[in-house]
């Protein structure tokens, strides 16, 4: 009996070490995605085409790490057959890395709009765009903090913050559409800004998805589409 208990303890310890490595990899992926977002927004506000190109090139690393973590999650589930909280944590990780990869895609999309803007006559960036970007990025930061702290309350607060980002999305787009009316020269640059705003709104959605996964991981209940503070 002692031998069997020892074996179980060794298996548990090995799983814990592997899970810790997965969490470290997720943290690295989160850093890459967050940096890409920060740089893409900076590229918009400073009209920095070189920085935008670096964001686009860097997306390869985001994609590669996301795929590697996904493979490891599948391997750990197959090898250790975890249950309860351990299984929920692995499943949450596998969902979260998908949202982080898509945040990286949004950063790339924003960077591509910067390159398009660089070939158009200069036009002011909407004054609320920077504030919206900051709010979306803060949602991502808090959703990840909620994951690493297993804090369901903070995760629910992230879900509530999405309403503000959605409201900014609608307000900015309405302003830009109004600017385009009767001003043909404004159509292309304003359309680029609308595309940027839509990507920022999607970043907020991805942060909300991450927060929902945290609530599921901690509390064992799905709150998709109904996560509240």
pLDDT of residue 82: 83
> What mean pLDDT is predicted for residues 122-150?
96
pLDDT of residue 5: 78
Q: How confident is the model at residue 227 (pLDDT cuts 50, 70, 90)?
A: low
Q: Which residue has the higher pLDDT, 141 or 3?
A: 141
Dist CA 45 CA 126 (whole Å):
10
Class of the domain covering 2-219: mainly alpha
Dist CA 88 CA 109 (whole Å):
32
Q: What b-and-e string marks burial along 191-228, b requiring 16 or more CB atoms within 10 Å of the CB?
A: bbbbebbbbbbbbbbbbbbbbbbbbbbbeeeebeeebe
Largest CA-CA distance found in the chain, in angstroms, rounded: 83
pLDDT of residue 102: 98
pLDDT of residue 133: 98
**Contacts for 186-193 with beta carbons within 8 Å, 24 or more apart?**
186/123, 188/116, 188/120, 189/117, 189/120, 189/121, 189/123, 190/123, 192/113, 192/116, 192/117, 192/120, 193/113, 193/125, 193/126, 193/129
CB 206 within 8 A of CB 102: yes
Residue 23, CB-side half-sphere exposure with 13 Å CA sphere: 14
Q: What is the pLDDT of residues 30-79, one digit of tens each?
A: 999 999 999 999 999 999 999 999 999 999 999 999 999 999 999 999 98
In three-state secondary structure terms, 148 is helix
> What mean pLDDT is predicted for residues 102-125?
96
pLDDT of residue 228: 54
pLDDT reading at 4 higher than 80: no
Q: Which token pair is 124?
A: 């002011």
> What mean pLDDT is predicted for residues 113-126?
94
Average pLDDT of the residues of the chain? 93
Radius of gyration of the chain (CA): 20
pLDDT reading at 1 higher than 60: no
């Amino acid at each position: 009996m002692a031998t069997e208990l020892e074996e179980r303890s060794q298996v548990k310890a090995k799983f814990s070490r592997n899970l810790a490595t997965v969490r470290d990899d997720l943290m690295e992926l989160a850093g890459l995605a967050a940096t890409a977002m920060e740089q893409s927004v900076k590229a918009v506000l400073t009209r920095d085409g070189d920085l935008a190109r670096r964001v686009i090139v860097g997306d390869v690393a985001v994609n590669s790490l996301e795929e590697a973590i996904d493979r490891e999650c599948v391997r750990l589930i197959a090898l250790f057959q975890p249950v309860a909280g351990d299984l929920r944590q692995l499943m949450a990780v596998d969902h979260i890395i998908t949202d982080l990869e898509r945040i990286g895609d949004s950063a790339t999309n924003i960077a591509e709009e910067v390159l398009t803007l660089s070939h158009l006559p200069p036009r002011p960036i909407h004054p609320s765009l920077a504030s919206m970007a900051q709010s979306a990025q803060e949602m991502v930061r808090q959703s990840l903090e909620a994951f690493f702290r297993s804090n369901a309350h903070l995760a629910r607060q992230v879900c509530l913050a999405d309403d503000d980002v959605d409201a900014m999305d609608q307000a900015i787009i309405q302003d830009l559409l109004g600017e385009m009316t009767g001003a043909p020269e404004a159509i292309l640059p304003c359309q680029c800004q609308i595309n940027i705003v839509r990507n920022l709104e999607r970043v907020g959605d991805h942060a909300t998805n991450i927060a929902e996964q945290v609530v599921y991981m901690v509390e064992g209940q799905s709150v998709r589409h109904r996560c509240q503070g």
